[in-house]
Amino acid sequence: MLTRIFDSPWLWLAPALLPFLLFLLIPVIEVVRLSFYRWDWFEEIPVGFAQYRRLFRDPEFFHALGHTLIFTAVVVPAWIFLTLAIAAIIAPMRRSFQSGWTTVFFLTYLVSPVVLAMVWTWMLAPDRTGIVNRMLGWVGISALPWLTSPRLALAGVILSTVVTIPGSGVLMYSAAISTLPTELFEAARLDGAGRFAQWRFVTIPLLKPTTLYLTVIYTIASFQVFERVYIMTGGGPAGATTVMVEQIYSNAFLNFDFGSASAQAVVLLLMISAVAWGQFRSLKSDIQF
């Protein structure tokens, strides 16, 4: 009997499955359930799809959705391009230099997002007190109200995010490039392909699995952006940087409208799932080497 228990795969999967059930799956199910109720401190009142109907009639929800989509559409391609470009620069270096540079970029991944947001708030400060505006002054450009103007606030948040290059992407692309089969590049050179052609027709297609993984991960992170917006602008000025997670937080923990916040969270989950599915469909690859 004891041997049969130890032979069961569920026993060995339990340490991973239990936290998944307790801290992810069950909370997600509870959020879906709560989206069909109105919570008023004393009881839960069933309202069916009323939360969703109210949500899709709310212009503030569509403003937050639009800001989230703009943020994601800019940040994800920029991160993919920058991490790949940096990895391409690091790849030809000697092994000791590669290790040093990948370590430097990965260390940035360990810095708290809250600390980064606070530093960028100082760097984008108005007038000449912020280092970015001070640098613009050196080339004769007037100081810009990066985080206080409704027209520029979202651009300021996006700029601070784009240039905070995720070190994990540089590390993964560097590792992937180092494992590419050299015989394919030799064959391309024999066919007369230059360096650019080798990158376009050999390297980039072979990196498709890594690109797919990073694209999905970056997309999920972009849709869930919160700390940077909350600290740098608080969703302002005049709602110019409100994003979906920040709006969910405000509805749930400031307005105590947990039903509406749950409905928004369900919509966000469905959007992320749909975008990730589309990315898998468009970027999936059968390449093996």
Structural domain for 270, as ranges = 48-283
Is the residue at 24 inside a domain?
no
83-108 per-residue burial string, b: 16 or more CB within 10 A, e: under 16: bbebbeebbeeeeeebeebbeebbee
Is the residue at 231 inside a domain?
yes
**Angle formed by the axes of helices 153-162 and 113-123, to 10°?**
120
pLDDT tens per residue across all 289 residues of the chain? 556 666 677 777 888 888 888 888 999 999 999 999 987 677 788 998 999 999 999 999 999 999 999 999 999 999 999 999 998 888 877 777 777 787 787 777 788 889 999 999 999 988 778 899 999 889 888 888 899 899 999 999 999 999 988 888 988 998 888 888 888 888 888 878 788 888 888 888 889 989 999 999 999 999 999 999 999 999 888 889 999 999 999 999 888 889 999 999 999 999 999 998 998 888 776 655 5
Is the residue at 40 inside a domain?
no
Cα within 13 Å of Cα(13), Cβ side: 7
Is the residue at 60 inside a domain?
yes
Structurally, the chain folds into a number of domains equal to: 1
Is the residue at 200 inside a domain?
yes
Which residue, chain included where needed, has tokens 């040093």?
A: 100
Give the CATH number, domain containing residue 101.
Answer: 1.10.3720.10
Is the residue at 177 inside a domain?
yes
Cα within 13 Å of Cα(186), Cβ side: 3
How far is 280 from 274, CA to CA, in rounded Å? 10
Is the residue at 182 inside a domain?
yes
Cα within 13 Å of Cα(2), Cβ side: 0
Is the residue at 41 inside a domain?
no
